[in-house]
Amino acid sequence: MLSDISGGLELRQADAVARALMTDDLLRAGRMIGQFCQGCGGAIGAVRLAMFPSTTRCSICAGSKLLAKGH
């Protein structure tokens, strides 16, 4: 995806904007597929999401006393 930049070629502004919008769309689509833990980055299980829809941590990180002190 970044081969143009690493190869020494510069992107036109329109190309850079198009790539930024595409990346944003991909990130939004990935967020809709599943939620990820803000502690470890792992996927939050469907059962935990069903019980706690607004959770931001997986069950392992939610049970960690060290991580609980941070929030």
Domain ranges of the chain: 1-33, 35-71
Distance, first Cα to last Cα, the chain: 36
Q: Which residue has the higher pLDDT, 56 or 27?
A: 56
| Closest among 41, 34, 33 to 57, alpha carbons compared | 41
Q: What is the pLDDT of residue 53?
A: 84
Say whether 36 sits in a helix, a strand or coil: strand
Summarised one tens digit per residue, pLDDT across range 12-24 is 888 888 888 888 8
- pTM for this prediction: 0.45
